[in-house]
Each structure stands twice: as structure tokens, then as C-alpha cells.
A and B are shown apart, each in its own frame.
Chain A
Amino acid sequence: MNLPVIIKFVIDLLAVLLLALGIKGLSKVKSARDANRLAAFAMSLSVVGLLSYYLGTSGIAIQSWIWIIIGSIIGSLLGAILAKKVPMTSMPETVALFNGCGGMSSLLVALGVAIFPISGGQENFDFFKSLINEVSISVSIFVGAITFTGSIVAMAKLQGWLSTPGWTQSKVRHFVNIVFAVASLIAFFDLIKGNTSSIWLLVIVSSLLGIGVTLPIGGADMPVVISLLNSYSGIAAAAAGFVVDSQLLIVAGAMVGAAGLILTQVMCKGMNRSLVSVLFGGSLSAQSTASSGSGEYTNITSCSVEECALTLEAANKVIIVPGYGLAVAQAQHTLREVTKKLEQNGIEVVYAIHPVAGRMPGHMNVLLAEADVPYEQLKEMDVVNPDFPATDVVLVLGANDVVNPQAKNDSSSPLYGMPVLDVQEARTVFVIKRGMSAGYSGIKNDLFDLPNTSMVFGDAKKVLNDLIGELKDLGVGDK
């Protein structure tokens, strides 16, 4: 072992250690920010390690430097600009886009190596080694392409650029996807056998497979898919690690792959869905409206903003239940103004955060944090549920399925078994909603029919603005 090899080994080891500590630290609120920086530092360290190794051994040609600099500057700059500009409400699609590009990178590396075998890799090229090489290239292309197209479709759907085409809800899509999958497998084995031309077939059909699998999935299942794709991009990186013989890549890729899987599982549990039904069940709304006919509302009470303000003024304890509607209406700052007024009047305000409220776990936390809501006021479901009977007013803002009592009472409901917030236990419930449309599950919400529930119809932001006006008139918070 010569010096550059030893140095690279030490740096790699250190980088892996720091990356592991980074992921670990990201799971605690206190250390999360430092942990993120630690991980970023570890990544730059790994680049220094790799470059210094090549400088110390084979050297790096000027030409290579030029291309390294061009690629790094363009990529980093675009990434940094996007990261600074994107609004907090569109975090899920941003993560999806970044993720897709990671997959694309692994795909390109594998393509490059496959089409132009790197010199230096050719020596002592026995059959076994070449087989491993072909397999890792194929895996990298396959997973990389699925990650890329899947993430892009996920992003486009979340942005509203793409809707769910009707045919994807019928059985046809299984047939189509099976065809893509079989074609991928054929191309995969053909490539391993040494038929390099089938590489393009593999690229095309695995790209199509990524689209075909992601397209039928409905809005609220998207976070699960993004998390799963995040896991895939780790696997793609690990496969690329086999291609270029880098242990660091394999370790880091495997860590991300495993971590993504765990996160995916957590999200599925929160929605009471299995991963299989998310991936192959299609959009939940399409199924349930067809099967159960969803039923009519019989006892809807709607009320004016003024009544809502009067009730709020008289309350001692108020719980806010935010949902995706709040994010769509961009009403987090307006909401904060309302709660500030209430707090100034000595009313206790708490936010009840359901684990899958919004389109991503933690979506609501991020959104409310942006509006300067103190972290201590955000309560998780298990903590806040016993508090509802002692609560005067619950404000449901753009949340629906996460407050549906059916999940507890009606064993025939598709939602049955999903953990929900027991808002109906509170004295009064106000549901601020644009109309009577169902939540993403497409299921009737029994909460709306209860005598202590009143509906306030309107866009969340507009209703909250009106509410501020009404509270002002009542003299709430004018101190």
C-alpha cells in the first residue's frame, strides 16, 4: 500500500463515519441542523479524498479538470438557486426533482462505462469480473432510469402539470406495466450476456416502467412514492459504486436505500395502507367511490365567519388541525395572525399534527414553522388526542380524512383502522373547507354530520382573513 491509497482509505472511512453521524443527527430536532452540515462536509471531504487519490497516483489531465469544473459549477449553481427560491409549500416536488437527478446521474455513469469501457478496468478481466461488471451496470441503468422518470412524474403530478389519466385506473395499466417489466428483464439479461446494443432497450423500457408505475398513483400517496424513489436513488448509487469499484459509494448508497425504506414504511403505517396497495392499488378515490357509493350528508350545519369568531372569543382552549388545504391556500401566515390574537386574549392554542397531514410527513411542521409558530405548540397525534374532550373549539383547516371518525367506528370503511384525530370529542368543531368535496380518499366524512360540527365554507386564506376582521371588531387581542 502506497501513501495515496492509505490517505484515501482514511478519508473514506472518516467520510462514512461522518455521513452515518449526519443521518443519525438528522433524526433529533436539536442536532438536525448541525448534522445536515456535517453530512455536507463529509460529502465534500469524500470529493477531496477521491481527487487527491488520483492526483497522487495517475494524475488528472487538464482536459478532465475543465470538464469537472464545468459540470460542478453548472450543477451546484442551479441546485443552489432552486433551493433558495422554491417556496416552502412545494417542498415535496422539489425533493422529487432533486431525487430524480440523482437517479439520472447514476444512469449516465453506467451508460458511459457500458458504451466506452474505462481503461484500467480491462486488465485481469476474467469472466467472473466482467459478469459482475455487466450486472452492476444493468442494475444501475434499470434503477437509475426508474428513479429519474418516476421522480419527474411525481413532481409533475404534485405541481399539477399532470393529472391522472383515466386509463391508468383500469386494469389495463397492470398489463402495460407487466409488459414494460418483462421487456426490462429481457434487455437486462441480454445485456449481461454481452449484447451491448440492448442497453438502449433497457434505458427506454425502464424509463417507461418508472412512468407507468408512478402515473396511476393518486395525490396523497405521493409522499410514499417519493420516499420509495428516494430509497431507489440510494440503490442506484450503490450499483454505480459496484460499476466504478468504490466502497464509499456502496456504503453511502446502501445507507440511503435502507433509510428510505424505513421512512416509506413509517408513512404507509400512518395512512393505514400497505406498500403493495399504494403501488398497485391505484388511486384510492377511484376505487371507493365506485364500490361504496360514499353516501349522502344529512345533517350539515354551516355557519358564518362571525359565529365562528364569537365562539372562538368565548373559548379557553383551541386546537388547530391543519391539513393539505392550508398548504394549498398558502394560509399559514394568516393562521398565525389569528392564533396570535387568540393568545393575546389568554386563550390556549395548540396545533394537532397528524402524521400524514399534508402531502409529506412533517409537511405541516415545516409549513407552520415558516409562519413562526413556536415548535412547542405543535403536538403529535398521540399526545393531543386525550386533550380533545377538554377543548372548547377545534378549527379544522383543509384537513379531511385525518379527522374522519369512520376510521374508528365503521369497520366497513376503507379508512377503518387508520389512526385519526378525535376532534369530535371537543365541544365545538369548525371545519373550514372550500366545498363538500371529499378528501383524497374520496370517502364521506361522518364528522361533518355531527351536531357539534359547523362548516365554514370558503378558501382557507379568505376565511381566516375575515376571521381576523371579526376578531378585531370583537376587540380580541387589542391590548
Chain B
Amino acid sequence: MSFISLLWVLLLGSLLGLELIGKVPPTLHTPLMSGANAISGITMLAALTLIVKAEGNVSLLIIGSVSLGFALFNVVGGFFVTDRMLAMFSRKQSNKK
């Protein structure tokens, strides 16, 4: 992957992000923030790459593993917390029906 095409990826990704959440009801600001936060834990892929490519370098394995732990803490915790918040909204709606 050349640097230029990676820059294009960065640019288009940013534009996509700007477009995606144009209009959000205030109710969903906290869950959206929390959900987006969970997605930022995608850096776990970088941690995985680091571990796979460590080739027996123990220090690198440990750094990668700790990094993976932090990232998954963010991802798993983030998605669960978001789900907990959203569950409260949907329960209310199904009660109404």
C-alpha cells in the first residue's frame, strides 16, 4: 500500500465520519459517544499485528499483549456499556406497544 493511497483512505474515512452523524437526537449523544469510543478500540488490530510479527521477541510480545488488553478493555467494555444504555430505551418502547 503506497503512502498516497493510505492518505486517500484517511481522507475518505474522515469525510464518511462527518457525514454519518449529521443529525442525532440529544437522547442518543451519550450512547453514540460510547459506541464510537468502542470502535476506536479498533487499534486492537495493530496490537494483534505486533504480536504476530514479533517472531519470538519476548519484549515485543509483552508490549503487544498489554496493548491488546487495553484495546479489548475499551472495545468489550464500550459495546457492553452502550448496549446497557440502549436496552433501557428499547425496553421502554416495547412496553408501550
Please list the residues of chain A having a beta carbon within 8 angstroms of any beta carbon in chain B: 19-20, 22-24, 26-30, 32-33, 35-37, 39-40, 43, 46-47, 50-51, 54, 58, 60-61, 63-64, 67-68, 70-72, 74-76, 78-80, 82-84, 86, 88, 91-92, 94-95, 98-99, 101-102, 104-106, 108-109, 111-113, 115-116, 118-121, 128-129, 132, 226-227, 230, 233-234, 236-238, 240-263, 266-267, 270, 353, 355, 360-363, 365-366, 369-370, 372-376, 378, 380
Contacts and interface: CB of A to CB of B under 8 A. Distances in A.
B52 A54 contact: yes
Contacts of A253: 13, 40, 42-43
Contacts of B76: 75-76, 79-80, 83
Closest 10 CB pairs of A and B: A258-B17, A79-B77, A254-B13, A75-B72, A361-B29, A83-B80, A75-B69, A71-B68, A108-B67, A255-B17
B12 to A, nearest CB: 7
A233 B41 CA distance: 8
Contacts of A252: 13, 39-40, 42
Contact of B27 (A23, A35, A109, A362): A362
Contact of B43 (A47, A109, A227, A257): A109
30 contacts: A24-B20, A24-B21, A26-B36, A46-B45, A67-B51, A67-B62, A71-B47, A71-B69, A75-B68, A75-B69, A75-B76, A76-B75, A78-B77, A80-B76, A83-B81, A86-B81, A88-B84, A94-B77, A95-B33, A101-B71, A101-B73, A105-B68, A116-B57, A238-B10, A250-B10, A259-B21, A263-B29, A362-B28, A365-B26, A375-B96
A266 B33 CA distance: 12
Is chain A's interface secondary structure helix, strand, loop, or mixed overall? helix
A230 B52 CA distance: 28
A246 B20 contact: no
Given A40-B38, A83-B80, A256-B17, A119 B88 contact: no
A108 B9 contact: no
Given A61-B56, A80-B76, A227-B33, A23 B68 contact: no
Given A23-B17, A80-B77, A260-B36, 6 more contacts: A39-B35, A43-B79, A64-B52, A71-B72, A104-B67, A105-B70
Most chain A CB within 10 A, of B12, B26, B48, B76, is at B26
A23 B20 contact: yes
B83 to A, nearest CB: 6
A139 to B, nearest CB: 11
A36 B54 contact: no
A248 B42 contact: yes
B47 A27 contact: no
Interface residues on B, range: 35 or more
A258 B74 contact: no
A55 to B, nearest CB: 9
Contacts of A115: 59
B45 A105 contact: no
B45 to A, nearest CB: 5
Contact of A255 (B20, B27, B66): B20
A212 B72 CA distance: 28
A33 B78 CA distance: 13
A268 B13 CA distance: 24
B15 to A, nearest CB: 7
Residue among A70, A113, A250, A260 having the largest count of chain B Cβ atoms under 10 Å: A250
A64 B39 contact: no
B3 A129 contact: yes
B89 A32 contact: yes
Given A83-B77, A113-B50, A263-B21, A375 B93 contact: yes
A254 B43 CA distance: 12
